[in-house]
Amino acid sequence: MNEPSNRDGEQSGTPAEKGDDAADHAASLPAEPMVPEDDAFAAAELPEEVSVLQKEISLLEEQLRDMRDRYVRAMADLDNANKLARRQVSEARMQAVSAVVLDVLNIIDNFERALEAIAPQAGASEEAKSVYEGIVLIYRQLLGMLKRRSIRCIDVAIGKPFDPALHEAVVQVPAEKGQAEGMVAIEIQKGYLYGDHVLRPSKVGVFVRQTNEAE
């Protein structure tokens, strides 16, 4: 009889040999990654840490909003304090200027009275005219000095409405036909402004309706 061929045995091999080959193949494969126990514990605690961080961020944002609000209020208080200081300085300057200018205005009033008293009449001497012109020159210099310092006369229009902000009524003038009550009838003393501030109101007479006027 013919002996069995060893070719089949070589191809199939024994069970022991097959087991050894499987073990060698398994050993040649890369090892599966293993998660360390510490990393697995940290991964489990991560959501809790995120929650803590979110709370801290919320707290910091709230503190930032509070600091921003306090900053805005502090800047507003500082601005108000600066405005108050400027207003107080302006008022103090105005009071100081008013005290000096009012004395100057009294001098100007005297100049105006003097000019009315010594106004040259027809046939007056050259000397009288020269004195009058000299006083007029000084008077104009005083007015120019006031104008350069933003001090000017209040314009009073006869027959225009009385303005309590600019005028002071010192006399009442009976209104005649065609003269409306409450209108300025006459200017008695000039008033002056310093910028928009009234240094001295104009003293005026105001038309009033006569009580015995027939209705």
pLDDT band of 95, cuts 50, 70, 90: confident
- The residues near 167 (Cβ < 8 Å, ≥ 6 apart) are 154, 156, 184, 191, 201, 202, 203, 204
Name the packing angle between helices 126-148 and 37-117 (round to 10°): 170
pTM: 0.58
Please give the Cα distance from 180 to 160 (Å, whole number): 9
What pLDDT shows up at residue 212? 60
**Residue-range domain boundaries for the chain:** 151-215
Higher pLDDT, 181 or 45: 181
* pLDDT higher than threshold 70 for residue 9: no
Higher pLDDT, 37 or 187: 187
- The residues near 129 (Cβ < 8 Å, ≥ 6 apart) are 120
Length of the chain (residues): 215
Q: What is the mean pLDDT of residues 12-37?
A: 52
Q: What is the mean pLDDT of residues 148-177?
A: 91
What pLDDT shows up at residue 52? 85
Specify the amino acid at residue 190. Answer: K
Please give the Cα distance from 112 to 68 (Å, whole number): 63
Please give the Cα distance from 35 to 43 (Å, whole number): 10
* pLDDT higher than threshold 60 for residue 80: yes
pLDDT band of 28, cuts 50, 70, 90: low
Exposure of 67 by Cβ count < 10 A (0-12 exposed, 13-18 middle, 19+ buried)? exposed
Q: What is the DSSP string of 122-163?
A: TT--HHHHHHHHHHHHHHHHHHHHHHHTTEEEPP--TTSBP-
What pLDDT shows up at residue 1? 47
Q: What is the mean pLDDT of residues 32-43?
A: 53
- The radius of gyration of the chain from alpha carbons, rounded to an integer in Å, stands at 53
Q: What is the mean pLDDT of residues 178-192?
A: 90
Q: What is the mean pLDDT of residues 193-203?
A: 91
- Comparing 2-11, 53-62, 110-119, 163-172, the range with the smallest average pLDDT is 2-11
Pairing of strands 192-194, 151-153: antiparallel
In the chain, % of residues over pLDDT 70: 76
**Helices and strands: H and E segment counts in the chain:** 4, 6
Kindly report the CATH number that applies to the domain delimited by 151-215.
2.30.22.10
Please give the Cα distance from 160 to 164 (Å, whole number): 12
Q: What is the mean pLDDT of residues 70-85?
A: 94
Please give the Cα distance from 215 to 210 (Å, whole number): 11
